[in-house]
Structure 1
Amino acid sequence: MVHMETPKEALTHFEEMEIHEKAAFDEIIRPADAYAPNGTYWADLPIGQRVKFCISQDGTEAKKEFAWLWDMFKTDPLSPISYYFKNAVLPGAGLGLEGYVLFSISNVSSLFSESFASCWKTYEVCDKNWIAAINYLEVAGIIVGQILVGFLGDWIGRRWGLIQDATIMFIGLIMLTAAWGVTQNGWIICYAWSLFFYSIGVGGEYPMTATIGMENGYGSGKVTTSQDRLHRGRSVVGAFLMQGWGQFANQVLLILLLLIFHHGSGSPPYSTVATQWTYRVSFAIPAVGTAWLVYYRAYHMKAASKQLEAQKKKAAVTGYDMESLRLTFKHFGPRVFATASGWFANDVFFYGNKLFQKKFIGVISPNSDVTTTWTWNLVNIVVSLAGYYCAAWFVDTKLYGRKWMQIVGFMLCFILFVIPAFKYDYYVKAENIHSFQTMYFLSSFFNQFGPNCVTFLVAAEVFPTPIRGTAHGISAAAGKLGALIIAVVGSYTSVQQQFLIVPWFGLAGALITYIWLPDTTGLDLREQERRWQFIREGREHEYHGPAIHSKHLSVWERWTGKGKLYDADLDYKMKVAEFRAEWEAAMAIRAEESETDLGIDDIDDNLLQGSMHKYFERTSPVIRSMNKDAPEPLSLPDAANEKQEPMSHE
């Protein structure tokens, strides 16, 4: 005899099913790392509770990571090294190689000045303008690469942009290694144009590395959404800091090569033969690594364009998404201004420090020879590396994060430059030189633990996928204009005059960051893409989620009313409706494919958006067990039209 449920029993089963459904939705929509147990978004908590929540989350995550690292070490002591190599060194290999070569130029220039004095110092046999053009063409090549490859990366795909960058850098290194001329001036011209060609590949590395680091988390299936929210910044900065290791490797190798080819001595005079061998071998070594990088990107990064292709497919775009570019400037124009202007201000500091460090070190250590200057530069690089790693460690901390890290970094660079600017004669005295030295090295530290790392990250993060490479390239190119300006200014000014000019760019950068840059720390990249989808469809006014929370908007965006539509409860209901629609669509596809071998894992990732797979696995067995007679796919109760109470994470 079949048992017939009473109305009361049926209602009880229905309520239990709804509770389980809400719990499943809550786990997806209100994850514990971003929402308090009562369902409140972390940025909506009162300040005291917010601080407590963030500290607790940071502590919990740190314990989990250290436990995971310890388990990995116990299994295989070398596995943490291989993990770091795979997840930081490889993604940042292009930037490491370009950092090696790019910052080698000023190092070898100081050696050329000693070995080829009639060309590089007195300009008797070489044109002074061509000597100066080396720095200008380097920066010009980077700008061309940033804009060109950023555009191509959004047009033909990230993978081909990466392959193209590595190929250009490989050919450029061969040109630099083999640069020659009938006269010394002819050699300089060949060297300068070889550097220009190489720098095009360098410029392309910026938008490509940033976008790949960003998109490897979101939509790739390689990491969970929790890892994306909690460690997205670290993954991008972790790749970017390879630039610092490239500088370190170059400086160490140059010192060793000079000792080898100069008969074990680093003291002048330096022979032209020793100089030629030193600089050419120093360029030949990264050529080998770059050749390998071409191979790796061609054969082991075939899914690099996956997220871009998914977004284009959703928008029915086959070529370059001009509509997304137009909408970006319409809706995110102030963000473009913030990322471009912030990068411009930063590069005045960064390249001012790097391109003319010989002048600064000359004040710290007068009458230094080449190896002494290189040794001081090595110390400066080590200090900078410490800043890189501090940035990677703190960039995802909700109580500090991207925006405040950039503001504080800019302000400290301003202070550390403006003090010696107005008291220069005091600080260059022998008894005060250590204070000058400390301020110079601290400026390097806070430039990395601040705007240099953050500008690279946010220029990709605050823009939508279809034009992310373009926006990053434009911002990076604006930065190199700052480098070009300081290159020109530095050629015609003294050290004190540079100190008087540069600080104000730090102050301007801090103000621009505060007013126009949004803070995306702790914001799920999926949520930003969801907001973009509303904008793309002309429904911006229907979006009510965290991407327009005041915490994640700039001061300017808040002033212009971008956050007035934020409504956490309404957004929750809309997400429930969206996930239900996706679930039912997925079940419909599964029903159509029931006669094939396809399973739930074969359904389009873009339809499921990753989370729906998890939702299906969690809810389907529960629903079916409570209502065995229900047909598949089961029509779920319309929870979106009912009042949703905040759920706990139990």
Structure 2
Amino acid sequence: MALKVLSALDTAKTQYYHFKAIVIAGMGLFTDAYDLFCIPPLMRIIGRVYYEDDNVPNSVVSVMIVIALLGTVIGQLVFGRLGDLIGRRHVYGLALMLMVLSSFGCGFSICTTKKCVLGSLGFYRFLLGVGIGGDYPLSATIMSEFANRRTRGAFIAAVFSMQGFGILASSTVTMVVCKIFERSSATASADHTPPEADIAWRLILMLGCIPAALTCYWRMMMPETARYTALVERNVVQAAKDMEKVLDVSMSQIAEEFPLPPNPPEYSLLSRQFFRRHGRDLLSCSATWFLVDVVFYSSNLLQSLIYHSYIDRQGTKKMNAYDEAFQVARLQAVVAICSTIPGYLVTVYYIDRIGRVRIQLLGFFFMSLVYFAIGIPYKFYWDGNTNFGFIFLYCLTFFFANFGPNTTTFIVPAELFPARFRSTCHGISGAVGKVGAIIGSVGFLWASLDEESGRPRPNGMTVALMILGGVCVVGVVVTYFFTFETMGRSLEDNENEDDD
């Protein structure tokens, strides 16, 4: 028989605390996107400041990409497991504080030599990745456990949609700071990069810690989720007290006459019984997240390089460091406004109407079509004045990624596992996804760029985009045959351990 407090959560009306939880949980995803998307334009400035040929070598770009993603893998595994062992809220604030401190540290270096600056940036980006990785399973799990059954998907998708606003904020801050420094400098030119440019990129990175820092207090004050308290800690009375404080229900409605939940099964995470009951779901969540991150991070992390042909038309050799970074940031902002954010918002609206599986299938399918459409005739788009068609189709990939598998792979693991394994399994799924991000982004970088010039190679870009389209086709197959629909299910359905 379901506990009253958990039934009340499933049927609770949407209220102020739900929206407050979305903002608190979403700030981690906001910071994640901010720090990820400010790197491409800032690499333009760093190249102008520290490299004679004005270009950061591919090897350095690869290291900066991989080291942050490697930290994310570690953070998802460690914090995901800790979220199930010692509680969601106990490690939630720690992940955010790590993100704030490392985000600030990314722009801080007491030396100005190339090796020291890049070493410091790499170290803090690794720590930032650990904090971001820890935030993923905790944010998704906490939001799913606070939400009601009817709108749970929309709430989790709303948390994840904060990434879109983080992208827009990153691009906006970069453009504003670049313009301020450019106007205050009398020596900035295509042939000369003023010393103040070394301050500009640091300032942009440091500003990214402010939104997350503003929510630290509220994260610390959040109560533990009732589902963890009741089902894992087995303290039903405390779960009812916590929910009385945050939801519009009275204690008489949720107090149990016999406040003892049923004894949970005794099998462990690595047991044969776990894999028999949950192995297929874990494999499905991990595989689809792996596939979408191969595609999504390949495009996102290298967005500025894919658009390099467009920027070259503006005459990069005539631009100063601030102008070049401004152009990259502006293109990112256009993509965010026209495709990324709308994709998130459409998912929020439809996720509890047509379901996770259908949206994931739709996203993978149309992404594959678009990648084939821009990959096969890639050279044609840039031979004349037809690059608008490429930009339009490329924006569609981001729309269908976010109105598709990029969002649903974040939602489904938070709804598919028992409370005592929920955060861990979400962390495992996300960690496998970030391994795909490492493979995809670095492989895409080396396959699509000329090693000497650092510019995109048409043949390499065609091959890379075609491979990404093929990966999306595999995503359609895996989703159709292995992904389980969670729309409308109670989270307590996952606690049913009957063999049937």
What TM-score does the superposition give when structure 1 sets the normalisation length? 0.64
The answer for the alignment partner of 2:283 in structure 1 is 337
2:171 aligned with 1:251, yes or no? yes
Contact 1:137-1:196 at 8 Å conserved across structures: yes
Q: CA deviation at 1:278?
A: 1.9
Q: Which residue matches 1:457?
A: 411
User: In percent, how many aligned pairs have the same letter?
Assistant: 26
Distance (Å, rounded) in 1 between the aligned partners of 2:483 and 2:179:
48
How many residue pairs were aligned? Answer: 441
Contact 1:116 1:272 in 2 (8 A): no
Counterparts of 2:274 and 2:53, CA distance in 1: 49
Give, as a single letter, the amino acid of the residue that structure 2 aligns with 1:381. Answer: A
CA distance in 1, matches of 2:395, 2:372: 14
Q: Could you tell me which of 209, 216, 225 is aligned with 1:287?
A: 209
Question: Is 1:470 the equivalent of 2:424?
Answer: yes
Q: Distance in 2 between matches of 1:373 and 1:509?
A: 30
Hey, what's the Cα distance between the residues in 1 that align with 2:190 and 2:344? 34
Aligned counterpart for 1:417 among listed residues 371, 380, 398? 371
Change (3 A) 1:511 1:273: same
| Distance in 1 of aligned mates of 2:230 and 2:54 | 53
Deviation at 1:106, TM superposition (A): 2.2
Shift of the 122–87 alpha-carbon distance from structure 1 to 2, 3 Å rule, reads closer
Structure 1, residues 42-81: CA drift from partner, whole Å, max 9, x if none? xxxxxxxxxxxxxxxxxxxxxx99xx9xxxxxxxxxxxxx
Distance 1:340 1:122, change over 3 A: closer
- Measured after TM superposition, the shift of residue 235 of structure 1 is 0.5
Counterpart of 1:213 in structure 2 is: 143
Distance 1:330 1:186, change over 3 A: same
Q: Secondary structure at the match of 1:271?
A: coil
Q: Deviations over 1:282-336 (max 9, x none)?
A: 22223333333332211x21x234321211224668xx98625634322121111
Aligned partners of 1:405 and 1:454 also within 8 Å: yes
Q: TM-score normalised to the size of structure 2?
A: 0.82
Residues 1:90 and 2:53 aligned together: no
Structure 2: which 5+ runs fail to align? 235-260, 315-323, 449-460
- Mapped to 1, the partners of 2:66 and 2:420 lie a distance apart of 32
User: 1:208, CA displacement in angstroms?
Assistant: 0.4
Change (3 A) 1:321 1:251: farther
Taking a change above 3 Å as real, the CA distance of residues 496 and 179 of structure 1, as seen in their structure-2 partners, is farther
Residue of 442, 447, 452 corresponding to 2:396: 442
CA–CA distance in structure 2, aligned partners of residues 439 and 267 of structure 1: 34
Q: Which amino acid is the alignment partner of residue 379 of structure 1?
A: V
Question: 1-side partners of 2:53 and 2:123: how far apart?
Answer: 17
Change (3 A) 1:371 1:154: same
1:234 and 2:190 correspond: no
2:372–2:465 contact (8 Å) kept in structure 1 = yes
The amino acid across from 1:395 in the alignment is: I
* Contact 1:114–1:269 (8 Å) recurs in 2: no
CA RMSD of aligned residues (A): 2.8
- Going from structure 1 to structure 2, the CA distance change for 1:405 and 1:357 (only over 3 Å counts) comes to same
3-state SS of 1:258 partner: helix
Q: After the TM superposition, which residues 17-416 of structure 1 pair with which residues of structure 2 at under 5 Å, given as runs?
A: 86-118=20-52, 121=55, 129-181=59-111, 183-217=113-147, 228-263=148-183, 268=190, 271-298=193-220, 300-301=221-222, 303-312=223-232, 313=234, 314=261, 323=268, 326=271, 327-368=273-314, 369-382=324-337, 383-397=339-353, 400-416=354-370
Structure of greater Rg: 1
The structure showing larger relative contact order (alpha-carbon pairs under 8 Å, at least 6 residues apart) is 2
Match of 2:245 in 1: none
Could you tell me whether the CA contact under 8 Å between 2:104 and 2:208 is conserved in 1?
Answer: no
Contact 1:98–1:202, Cα closer than 8 Å, also in 2: yes
Check the 8 A contact 1:179/1:194 in 2, yes or no. Answer: no
Equivalent position amino acid for 2:183 in 1: H
Compared CA separation, residues 106 and 334, structure 1 to 2 (3 A): same
Amino acid at match of 1:458: V
